[in-house]
Chains A and B, each alone.
Chain A
Amino acid sequence: MLYLLRKFALLLLTLFVAATINFFLPRLIPGDAVGAMMAKYQGNLSPQAADALRLAYGLGNEGSAFQEYLKYLVKLLHGDFGRSITQFPTPAADVIAAAAPWTIGLIGVCTLISFLIGSALGLYSAWKGNQRFASALPAIGLFLGALPYFWVGSLLVYVFSLWHNVFPLGGNLDPFIGDSFTPKWWSSMLRHAVLPACSIIITAVGGWLVTMRNNAVSVMGEDYLAFARAKGLSERRILSRYVLRNAMLPSLTGFGIALGFVVGGSILVEQVYSYPGLGYYLFSAVTSKDFPLMQAIFLIISAAVLIANFLVDILYTFLDPRVRTGLGA
């Protein structure tokens, strides 16, 4: 329990740090970045939007930076992420609310799938280390892990949408699909998701593979494995109860860190497929200099990653008795 409490404290601390970075980053940038930005929008910006922007970045406001900061934190706690400039006056929260389910669905599911496939392959590679395919797997994993996500996305589009018209070119659903969650909707949704999902899985699998393989190899060098063999246990039992159970633990602790990387890469995939998730909006926010929206998306991605992390921590306590019962006799 102490372990989970500590992890939860870390979650809150990190969220707080993310929010703080968000607040201070535009103010720390050397030169008048915001001023320049305002200048760029001159004419295209409604007066209200300009005011909102000024307010958001502390230009010509009354209070001190610290008071502004407190106000900002309070607003965040109420779910107010500011307003998007390009879609003024739509609250950034609304844009996010529309986009987030797509991202969480796509990236969440793909991360899970690639974790499972990668770990399984890594375990196989360690277990059958002397076979040709098994020993080639780590190198393959390293290659896949070094591929840019968006590039794999582009290639898949080229092969399966442009060259052979198997899957749709982009988007999340066919137009005029009607009600959500009908069989037609599901089929369209899945058809649109296949290519983005594959690009994410192909590139993310490598990292999990290598991690799991290294963990499993070091577990296989442990004395308790030799002892299990000496006991005459079946290979299956050794693999599941001894190798897998122990090799999984460091994979899970590394999950949080790796998740940040995977999500970072995956949001670019959304851009390739015009998949209307957070990554796509982040991209359009970047191109249209919609800083409030950009920052709100950063915050929400952070929150999602941190929460996923915390869920993994909870799972971890079930798998590692040392954490559950506290270390030491």
Chain B
Amino acid sequence: MSSPATELTTATELTTATELTTGVRPGTPLTAAVSANAALELHGLTKAFKCGRGGRVVTAVNNVSLRIERGEVLALVGESGSGKSTVARLVARLETPTSGSVSVGGQAVPRRLGSAGLRALRRRVQMIFQDPYASLNALNTVGYTLSRPIRIHKLAPGREVGAQVSALLDRVGLSPGALWAARRPNELSGGQRQRVVIARALAARPELILADEPTSALDVSIRLDIMNLLLDLKDQEGLSMLFITHDLAGARYMADRVAVMYAGSVVEIGPAQEVIGNPQMPYTQLLRRAAPKFGEGTETQGAGAQDAGELPLRGEVPDLSKLPTGCAFEPRCPHATAACKVALPPLYELSPGHLVRCVLFDPARPGAR
């Protein structure tokens, strides 16, 4: 049995993967892939951290290629340690990529950025953090926190900053804004804090929002409110969004498309309904099976979900400093074959826009799905 993965050089795999993940049909020239329409485009993004003095290298993000269209929400789903947050931090330049490229709004972001370049990037890309108790400085008023992006990026003359801050607060549902601006975070509930965090992200009038698990630190009763707020703002402001979550249901609620990450790689990507309703990669099936079944109509129990029923719930996320050469999920996978250990398989397209990184779907493989 010949493994197709070995036949692909890294370079060709990269381009194939890019074309495929961006939803461009195979055969379209690569130049078309760098379209001005993309809000965010990642090419072979990789981040390796050096850990401790032992020289251990942890590959947190491994050759990730993604594309978010303008006005689109892409959910990045995975467990802790899958690298999903690192992707956002790389895009926001809180970390510098080891290799690979990032383009925002069709413009490539250079690897080395001066302070002016950084500021320009940060006007266009804003981040929402997970824990609103940690992401607001308790000593600063809401007004100060929100005025900073406006002042840094000189978006309004000094005397209008206050009015802009109030308008921002009104927009995220904290009215009257002028009143909320005078408060400090300790006077706000978790949900109110997260609204302030969202307002801060909007203050710079960005094109792209990176929302890193914006609801998981919040109480169940307000999660939907925050998600609704994000969706509404996205529509009103014409934003694009990378929505990072570990919750499949939340991803399905928020996103147009879903990308599933495992051990630093994207292993499945496609339309939200399809990836979550009918997962194909054995890992996504495992996630699907682990998610609470509640509130789920029986009619959507597709073939994928049934498959997942057989999956053993064994093992844990692999050590990122000792990743296998092949598929990282292979040690836990019930369908593992010898081919899985050889190399990380490329993304195979199952249906338009639905891609899976798994040898089970290798068209050259006898009995492929």
Contact = CB atoms under 8 A, between A and B. Distances in A.
* A contacting B, Cβ–Cβ less than 8 Å: yes
B124 to A, nearest CB: 37
Interface in A1-32: 2, 6
Nearest to A6: B53
Interface in B47-79: 52-54
Contacts of A6: 53
Contacts of B53: 2, 6
A17 B181 CA distance: 54
Contacts of B52: 327
Nearest to A326: B54
A1 to B, nearest CB: 12
A2 B53 CA distance: 10
A6 B53 CA distance: 11
A327 B51 CA distance: 11
Contacts of A2: 53-54
Classify the interface of chain A: helix, strand, loop or mixed: helix
A325 to B, nearest CB: 13
A327 B54 CA distance: 11
Nearest to B321: A328
A70 B75 CA distance: 64
Nearest to B319: A329
A6 B54 CA distance: 12
A2 B52 CA distance: 12
A327 B53 CA distance: 12
Contacts of B54: 2
A327 B52 CA distance: 10
Contacts of A327: 52
A236 B53 CA distance: 40
A259 B25 CA distance: 71
A118 B156 CA distance: 61
B19 to A, nearest CB: 39
A2 B55 CA distance: 13
B280 to A, nearest CB: 31
B49 to A, nearest CB: 13
Nearest to A329: B319
A151 B129 CA distance: 57
B210 to A, nearest CB: 28
A44 to B, nearest CB: 54
A322 to B, nearest CB: 13
A95 B54 CA distance: 45
B211 to A, nearest CB: 29
A10 to B, nearest CB: 13
Nearest to B51: A328
Interface in B299-354: none
Nearest to A327: B52
A2 B54 CA distance: 9
Interface in A307-329: 327
A291 B48 CA distance: 54
Interface string B28-57: 000000000000000000000000111000
B68 to A, nearest CB: 34
Interface in A188-235: none
A316 to B, nearest CB: 18
Nearest to B56: A328
Interface in A281-329: 327
A213 B54 CA distance: 35
A306 to B, nearest CB: 22
Nearest to B316: A329
A18 B52 CA distance: 28
A28 B5 CA distance: 67
B80 to A, nearest CB: 14
A209 B218 CA distance: 42
Interface of B: 52-54
Interface of A: 2, 6, 327
4 contacts: A2-B53, A2-B54, A6-B53, A327-B52
4 closest Cβ contacts across the A-B interface? A2-B53, A2-B54, A327-B52, A6-B53
